[in-house]
């Protein structure tokens, strides 16, 4: 049809004289048809849009119901979020699951700081600052250039290996002192259990303490040391390490005294006759029947500070404030030094006593024994642990208003770890 002949009149002629074939009824029909077509097109567009929205919705929310749990996945434009909804569990089951998860979570992108003892002589203020900052954050620090001769360290480990591996159980047991809480001499495998744990640690150890002259006022607190007959030089070597670490510990305490706004020599007369202990530890190869046991369960140390030789053998982990475990891997020959519960109490938790443990090695290394030597630096037995005024404030109220003697505190803790 020639569009030029469409007119709104009932009887019109085209421009060339032809008569129009279309009148008003026909035009109304055309307009109705056009409106219906537009309506249909709009409906199709609406349907297509709706269908696309439904498809997008399906992409954004997919509900899957597997056999044991329900998984709901939410998808956004820029990233994916996963929410897993497990079947309801008993509270105890959930707590156990969380505990297992925490035990398995180990971070490897962070390190315990290393501080050189050369700063003690060359820049004491810097030494104080570095030490204090490390302890406030981790409760642990690694000390290098500490002054304890490497030859003496190696000799002490060699003689310790001879004692634990070459002597029979019967020969070692004769150095056990029943009823003395393991204060001196030999403590057999499986005797010590971490506080709150139900299974004993996979270790045996030897304790050596401070030598006192006969009739000393602290004689009732500190037993005489035992001499090992079968391994020549064992006791002498252990005593050398004891006093070398004692001297190193005093330097650390001087720095911490300044950091805590005390006189540099604040600790000197409080630890000069301390009930300190050198513990020589042997962790034997892991036996198959040791399932559920670890070399050293998660614990905190009792004393003021601990200075450890042998952490470079691996296995030591500390618990960060976020609940994740951090490996402590010092360079060979370094001393790892951490805050104990007594110093944490004295400082009102300014210096934290950090939970740590020694985990079992991987299966392929389970046959390899581990040796270490922690020196537990204790205050004098009659020293009263009373919170330092410099560590109390409105933001940090005193957690321990009741003072306690260091020996009373020690005896309480020995009972907790089942050595008494």
111-138 pLDDT per residue, tens: 999 999 999 999 999 999 999 999 999 9
CATH no. for 106-416: 2.60.120.330
What is 39-80 written as a DSSP string?
A: HHHHHHHHHHHHHHHHHHHHHHEEEE--SS-EEEEEE-SS-E
Nearest to 112 by CA among 136, 88, 90: 136
For the stretch 154-184, pLDDT in tens is 999 999 999 999 999 999 999 999 989 899 9
Query: Is pLDDT larger for residue 208 or for residue 78?
Result: 208
Cα–Cα dist 71/82, whole Å: 8
What is 276-288 written as a DSSP string?
A: -EEEEEEEPPPPG
**pLDDT at position 132, please?**
97
DSSP SS3 for 296? strand
Q: How confident is the model at residue 71 (pLDDT cuts 50, 70, 90)?
A: very low
Residue 400 has pLDDT above 90, yes or no: yes
Q: How confident is the model at residue 364 (pLDDT cuts 50, 70, 90)?
A: confident
Cα–Cα dist 359/277, whole Å: 23
Q: What angle do CA 332, 338, 343 make, to 5 degrees?
A: 160
Share of the chain above pLDDT 90, in %: 61
For the stretch 312-337, pLDDT in tens is 778 999 999 999 999 999 999 999 99
> What is this structure's pTM?
0.74
Cβ atoms of residues 115 and 129 within 8 Å = no
Residue 399 has pLDDT above 70, yes or no: yes
Residue 109 has pLDDT above 90, yes or no: no
Treating both helix axes as pointing N-terminal to C-terminal, what angle do 124-138 and 234-259 enclose, rounded to 10 degrees?
A: 100
Residue 73 has pLDDT above 60, yes or no: no
Q: How confident is the model at residue 197 (pLDDT cuts 50, 70, 90)?
A: confident
Cβ atoms of residues 351 and 343 within 8 Å = yes
Residues paired with 308 in a beta bridge: 336, 374
Query: Is pLDDT larger for residue 200 or for residue 248?
Result: 248
- Highest-confidence segment of 5-14, 16-25, 64-73: 16-25
What is 206-252 written as a DSSP string?
A: EEEE----TT-TTTTTSPPPPPPSSSTTHHHHHHHHHHHHHHHHHHH
Sheet holding 335-339, edge to edge: 114-116, 140-144, 335-339, 305-309, 370-377, 277-283, 204-209, 185-187
Rounded mean pLDDT of 201-227?
95
DSSP SS3 for 356? strand
From the CB of residue 271, how many other CB atoms can be counted at a distance below 10 Å?
Answer: 22
Nearest to 305 by CA among 140, 186, 76: 140
Cα–Cα dist 299/414, whole Å: 13
**pLDDT at position 337, please?**
98
Q: How confident is the model at residue 4 (pLDDT cuts 50, 70, 90)?
A: very low
For the stretch 78-104, pLDDT in tens is 333 333 333 444 444 444 544 444 455
DSSP SS3 for 169? helix
Q: Which whole-number Å values give the CA distances from 184 to 187, 207, 240, 260, in the listed order?
A: 9, 5, 16, 33
Q: How confident is the model at residue 107 (pLDDT cuts 50, 70, 90)?
A: low
**pLDDT at position 191, please?**
82
Q: How confident is the model at residue 41 (pLDDT cuts 50, 70, 90)?
A: low
For the stretch 248-302, pLDDT in tens is 999 999 999 999 999 999 999 999 999 999 999 999 888 775 677 889 889 999 9
Q: What angle do CA 108, 109, 115 make, to 5 degrees?
A: 100
**pLDDT at position 82, please?**
32
**pLDDT at position 31, please?**
65
Cα–Cα dist 193/357, whole Å: 12
Q: Which whole-number Å values give the CA distances from 203 to 80, 182, 188, 297, in the listed order?
A: 47, 13, 8, 11
Structure tokens at 216: 């000393």
DSSP SS3 for 326? strand
**Rg, Å, the chain Cα set:** 38
Residue 224 has pLDDT above 70, yes or no: yes
**pLDDT at position 346, please?**
98
**pLDDT at position 48, please?**
63
Residue located via tokens 């770890």: 417
Q: What is the mean pLDDT of the chain?
A: 82
């Amino acid at each position: 049809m020639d569009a030029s002949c469409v007119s709104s009149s009932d009887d019109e002629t085209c421009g060339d004289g032809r008569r129009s074939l279309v009148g008003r009824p026909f035009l109304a029909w055309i307009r109705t048809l056009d409106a219906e077509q537009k309506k249909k097109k709009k409906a199709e567009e609406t349907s297509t849009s709706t269908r696309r929205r439904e498809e997008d919705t399906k992409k954004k929310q997919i509900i899957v119901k597997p056999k044991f749990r329900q998984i709901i996945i939410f998808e956004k434009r820029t990233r994916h979020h996963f929410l897993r909804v497990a079947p309801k569990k008993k509270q105890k089951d959930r707590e156990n699951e969380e505990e297992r998860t925490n035990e398995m979570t180990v971070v490897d992108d962070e390190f315990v700081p290393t501080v050189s003892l050369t700063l003690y002589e060359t820049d004491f203020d810097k030494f104080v600052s570095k030490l204090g900052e490390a302890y406030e954050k981790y409760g642990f620090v690694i000390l290098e250039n500490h002054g304890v001769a490497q030859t003496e360290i190696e000799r002490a480990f060699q003689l310790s290996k001879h004692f634990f591996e070459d002597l029979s159980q019967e020969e070692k047991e004769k150095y056990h002192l029943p009823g003395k809480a393991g204060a001196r001499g030999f403590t057999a495998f499986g005797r010590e259990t971490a506080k709150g744990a139900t299974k004993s640690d996979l270790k045996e150890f030897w304790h050596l303490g401070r030598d006192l002259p006969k009739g000393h006022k602290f004689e009732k607190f500190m037993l005489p040391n035992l001499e090992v007959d079968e391994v020549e030089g064992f006791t002498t070597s252990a005593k050398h390490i004891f006093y070398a670490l004692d001297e190193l510990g005093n330097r650390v305490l001087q720095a911490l005294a300044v950091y805590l706004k005390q006189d540099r020599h604040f600790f000197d007369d409080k630890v000069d006759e301390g009930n300190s202990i050198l513990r020589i530890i042997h962790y034997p190869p892991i036996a198959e029947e040791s399932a559920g046991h670890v070399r050293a369960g998660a614990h905190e140390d009792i004393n003021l500070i601990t200075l450890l030789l042998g952490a470079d053998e691996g296995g030591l982990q500390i618990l960060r404030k976020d609940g994740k475990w951090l490996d402590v891997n010092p360079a060979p020959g370094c001393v790892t030094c951490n805050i104990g519960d007594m110093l944490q109490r004295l400082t009102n938790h300014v210096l934290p006593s950090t939970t740590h443990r020694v985990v079992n090695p991987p299966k392929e290394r389970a046959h390899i024994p581990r040796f270490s030597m922690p020196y537990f630096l204790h205050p004098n037995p009659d020293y009263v642990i009373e919170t330092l005024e410099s560590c109390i404030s409105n933001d940090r109220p005193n957690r321990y208003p009741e003072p306690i003697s260091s020996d009373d505190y020690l005896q309480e803790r020995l009972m907790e770890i089942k050595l008494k």
